[in-house]
Amino acid sequence: MNTATAAVDTLLYLNGVTVSFDGFKALNELSLIVEEGELRTIIGPNGAGKTTMMDVVTGKTRPDAGEVFFRGTADLSRLDEAAIANLGIGRKFQRPTVFENLTVLENLELSLDDSRGTLRTLFAQLSPDRRDRIDDTLARIGLTAQRAQSAGALSHGQKQWLEIGMLLIHDRSLLLLDEPVAGLTDRETEQTAELILDLAKDRTIVVVEHDMAFVRSLGAKVTVLHEGSVLAEGSIDHVQNDPHVIEVYLGR
């Protein structure tokens, strides 16, 4: 296939990506395409390479081989984390990582899409429209009352939402969510699914998740990873009936 044209048309393009750690291939010639505006869920057993795939896309890990392109032109395998973030790719980690010693509001302030330059941040002032944006986001993630609390004092679920809010406020075009409902109650999981579906209306989202009920509730295209490459792809019903998938993942 003509890789160049495929790369240009898609938002996120991975071709033949291999990453090995001490001989163990975390990703084995992984090829994956995510279209603009898509909501994609990625599932797979532990060690299938889900988190490594996110590490490669966000610049935390350099691939040993293969191509990673964003919008066809930006070669993500050559950029560092900050540069990739500034292209409009946001990531939510498996364990919620908010800045525990800053307040909820300050967490959002740092996530605004203002200049990231060191000297600019030294003299930065929060303009009224930026403050309105923070207020809108606080309302959207339901943390208006906790704005002045330190983020470390939030519950687990609230931290997950704050982290989603931190991605949301920047208005990024691609969000990578690593297990957004891990450790959440059923009620919180439902609320998070609603939030993700709402966010997916105007951006591309890739969700890595274990919780099959949650994946089903998102109703999106599913990619199954296994041993570092794609095992199956399609609707949730399609992949759940795939004999290979049943064997390696769902059958257990």
Partner 1 sequence: MSELPRGQRNSAWGPGFWAGFVACAVVLALAVPILNLWVPSNSAVALPDYLVPLLGKYLCYALLALSLDLVWGYAGILSLGHGAFFALGGYCMGMYLMRQIGTRGVYGNPLLPDFMVFLNWKELPWFWWGFDHFSWAAAMIVLVPGMLALVFGWLAFRSRVTGVYLSIITQAMTYALMLAFFRNDMGFGGNNGMTDYKDILGWDLHQPSTRLGLYLVSTTALGAGYLLCRFVTISKLGRVLLALRDAESRVRFLGYSVTNAKLFVFTLSAVLAGIAGALYVPQVGIINPSEFSPGNSIEIAIWVSVGGRGTLSGAIVGAVLVNLAKTWLTGAAPETWLFVLGALFVATTLVIPRGIVGLLHSARWVRPRATAPLPAGE
Q: Which residues bind partner 1 (CB under 8 A)?
A: 58, 60, 80-83, 85-86, 90-91, 93, 97-103, 105-106, 109-111, 116-119, 121-124, 126, 131-132, 134-135, 138, 147-148, 150, 152, 166, 170
As measured in angstroms, the least distance from the Cβ of 22 to partner 1 is: 20
The DSSP code sequence of 18-62 is EEEETTEEEEEEEEEEE-TT-EEEEE--TTSSHHHHHHHHTTSS-
Rounded-to-integer distance, Cα 168 and Cα 187, Å: 21
Residue 199 belongs to what H/E stretch? helix 186-199
As measured in angstroms, the least distance from the Cβ of 217 to partner 1 is: 27
As measured in angstroms, the least distance from the Cβ of 216 to partner 1 is: 29
The encoded tokens of residue 57 equal 């896309």
Residue 38 or 109 with smaller CB distance to partner 1: 109
Query: Residue 39 pairs with which residues in a beta bridge?
Result: 205
Nearest to residue 96, comparing CAs of 3, 178, 7? Answer: 178
As measured in angstroms, the least distance from the Cβ of 211 to partner 1 is: 23
Residue 105 or 231 with smaller CB distance to partner 1: 105
Residue 1 or 82 with smaller CB distance to partner 1: 82
Query: Residue 24 pairs with which residues in a beta bridge?
Result: 21
What is the Rg, in whole angstroms, of the alpha carbon atoms belonging to the chain? 18
Residue 105 or 230 with smaller CB distance to partner 1: 105
Residue 4 or 82 with smaller CB distance to partner 1: 82
Rounded-to-integer distance, Cα 37 and Cα 210, Å: 23
As measured in angstroms, the least distance from the Cβ of 179 to partner 1 is: 16
Residue 17 or 134 with smaller CB distance to partner 1: 134
Q: Phi and psi dihedrals of 221, rounded to 5?
A: -65, 140
As measured in angstroms, the least distance from the Cβ of 174 to partner 1 is: 13
